[in-house]
Amino acid sequence: MTGAVHLSDAVERARSGDVEAFETLYRATAGRVYALCLRMCRDPHLAEELVQECYVRAWQKLGTFRGDSLFTTWMHRLATNVVLGHFRRAGRRIDDLADAGERVAAEPAAERSSELALDLERAIASLPAGARTVLVLHDVEGYTHEEIARMSGVAPGTSKAQLSRARRLLRKVLTP
Amino acid sequence: MTCDELRRRLDDYLDGALQAEERTDIEAHLADCAACRAELDELEGLVRRLGDLPEAIEPPRDLWPDISSRLAPPVVVAGRFGSSARRWMAVAASVAAALAALLVAYSTGLQHGSEEAVTAREATPLAVPAGLEDTGFAEAEAEFSAARDRLLATLAERRDSMSPETLRVVDDNLRVIDEAIERISSALVDDPLNPRLANQLASAYRRQIELLQRASRLPAET
């Protein structure tokens, strides 16, 4: 049985209220959802709360999943919207190009680790919120500027500007 | 095209967001400018690293218990017992809660009630819908049955003090309720996700306990 078929079966059962099946879906996708939440909000505790919110929301909305995309894709999109919704409620605007200016948090600029990925994660975490959000959605998660614009309610040009800024800041942080 | 102009467009170039003419201009500049090629290489390397980041990061703790505790019972729709065991357990749990409330009321009633009894009556085993053995329902129903037996025993001791008319009314009502419980339990086996049936079952249990309590407290008539 392939993973997709396995999840497809679990989706069907979860849609009819089978909590065990929904747990299967959680186990299969939680890592990706947590990674998204953590990278976008950079606070592990908040990321945990957002992950919980994502799955509670998914449970409520499973009936709207039509199956014309992979469950993982649907879940990821839902998680992105949950995080962006949290940002909106918290008054964090991803179109604020002036947020934190060209500054990055001091912590990640610390000594370079031999683990480059960890360095990179820290560097991402150091970015201003708007730049970090767009960078994660575009360069890590693979969304287009148009998709980011639709989800976050900003112009595609704003998304592009935030991405350029994020990459520029990242290179600055990562340069020895 | 100057180096500054090129670098302002480098992200769009890398992301394939430029028109063919602009791409041609940039590529012409890159062919002659080592510094801008280095800039492009660095940017490409960064984007590649970002794309290579682990897709998943496991949460530091298992979040499922917290999530599952927040999952509201799903909208219950008619269906067969089996693949929907979890949904039925939610229904059973509501019936069990109703029974538990009845038992509290019954215990309170015993403390304030009389010791007299009414009728001798065989306690009919209650039908437990299949699949409920592992839920709080079966346990609550066992307690309910024990409570009912105690009330029936009290009623049996009072039987001689009650008029035939009163006994007949009590017995008829108990029989009607027993039949209702049997009928509803049977319907629940066929339609275990039906919340209306679950409510009816809890209601029938409640009526039976209330009837037995009232009968146990009737003043002596003979």
**How far is residue B57's CA from residue B47's CA, in Å, rounded to a whole number?**
19
- Assess whether pLDDT exceeds 60 at residue A27: yes
- Assess whether pLDDT exceeds 50 at residue A6: yes
Question: Residue B86 has what pLDDT?
Answer: 47
Domains in chain A: boundaries: 1-92, 95-176
**How far is residue A13's CA from residue A22's CA, in Å, rounded to a whole number?**
8
| B45 and B84 share one domain | no
**How far is residue A124's CA from residue A137's CA, in Å, rounded to a whole number?**
12
Residue B93 lies in a domain: yes
Question: Residue A63 has what pLDDT?
Answer: 82
**Token representation of residue A43:** 């606070």
Top residue of A29, A51, A56 to mutate, by most chain B CBs within 10 Å, is A56
Under a CB-based contact definition with an 8 Å cutoff, are residues B191 and B197 in contact?
Answer: yes
Computed over every residue of chain A, the mean pLDDT equals 83
- Which residues on chain A are in Cβ contact (under 8 Å) with B4? none
Which pLDDT band, with edges at 50, 70 and 90, does A89 fall under? confident
Top residue of B5, B39, B63 to mutate, by most chain A CBs within 10 Å, is B63
Question: Residue B122 has what pLDDT?
Answer: 38
Under a CB-based contact definition with an 8 Å cutoff, are residues A34 and B58 in contact?
Answer: yes
Q: Tell me the pTM.
A: 0.58
Q: How far is B70 from chain A (nearest CA, A)?
A: 7
A20–B86 CB contact, under 8 Å: yes
A34–B57 CB contact, under 8 Å: yes
Per DSSP, the residues of chain A read --HHHHHHHHHHHHHTT-HHHHHHHHHHHHHHHHHHHHHHH--HHHHHHHHHHHHHHHHHHGGG--SSS-HHHHHHHHHHHHHHHHHHHTT--TT-TTTTTT---TGGGSPPPS-HHHHHHHHHHTS-HHHHHHHIIIIIS---HHHHHHHHTS-HHHHHHHHHHHHHHHHHHH--
Task: Indicate the range of A98-102, A151-155, B216-220 predicted with least confidence.
Answer: A98-102
Residue A140, phi-psi category: left (phi > 0), alpha (psi -120 to 50), beta (remainder) = alpha
Residue of A nearest to B58 (CA): A31
**Token representation of residue A176:** 């020895």
Question: Residue B44 has what pLDDT?
Answer: 93
Which pLDDT band, with edges at 50, 70 and 90, does A69 fall under? confident
| B87 and B134 share one domain | yes
Average pLDDT over residues A66-86: 89
May I ask the CATH architecture of the domain A1-92? Answer: Orthogonal Bundle (1.10)
- Which residues on chain A are in Cβ contact (under 8 Å) with B87? 16-18
Question: Residue B121 has what pLDDT?
Answer: 38
Which pLDDT band, with edges at 50, 70 and 90, does A112 fall under? very low
| B13 and B87 share one domain | no
B51–A140 CB contact, under 8 Å: yes
| B43 and B85 share one domain | no
Which pLDDT band, with edges at 50, 70 and 90, does A30 fall under? very high
Range of the domain at B17: 3-51
Give the position of tokens 């948090």. Answer: A105
Per-residue pLDDT for chain B (222 aa), expressed as one digit of tens each?
889 989 889 999 998 888 899 999 999 999 999 999 999 999 999 999 999 999 999 999 999 999 998 887 544 433 333 334 444 455 555 566 555 555 555 554 444 443 333 333 333 444 444 444 444 566 666 667 777 777 788 778 777 888 888 888 888 888 888 888 877 777 766 666 666 777 777 777 777 877 887 777 777 765
| B93 and B179 share one domain | yes
| B88 and B37 share one domain | no
| B46 and B121 share one domain | no
Under a CB-based contact definition with an 8 Å cutoff, are residues A145 and B21 in contact?
Answer: no
Under a CB-based contact definition with an 8 Å cutoff, are residues B3 and B33 in contact?
Answer: yes
Q: How far is B101 from chain A (nearest CA, A)?
A: 27
- Which residues on chain A are in Cβ contact (under 8 Å) with B16? none
HSE toward the beta carbon, residue A15, CA cutoff 13 A: 13
- Assess whether pLDDT exceeds 90 at residue A94: no
Task: Indicate the range of A59-68, A90-99, B14-23, B169-178 predicted with least confidence.
Answer: A90-99
Q: How many domains does chain B have?
A: 2
May I ask the CATH architecture of the domain A95-176? Answer: Orthogonal Bundle (1.10)
Under a CB-based contact definition with an 8 Å cutoff, are residues A20 and B72 in contact?
Answer: no
A18–B70 CB contact, under 8 Å: no
Q: Identify the residue with better confidence: A36 or A119.
A: A36
| B82 and B192 share one domain | yes
> How many Å from the N-terminal Cα to the C-terminal Cα in chain B?
115
Top residue of A13, A52, A82 to mutate, by most chain B CBs within 10 Å, is A52
- Which residues on chain A are in Cβ contact (under 8 Å) with B194? none
**B72 Cβ under 8 Å from any chain A Cβ:** yes
| B92 and B163 share one domain | yes
Classify the complex by whether its ipTM is higher than 0.95, answering yes or no.
Answer: no
A52–B53 CB contact, under 8 Å: no
**B58 Cβ under 8 Å from any chain A Cβ:** yes
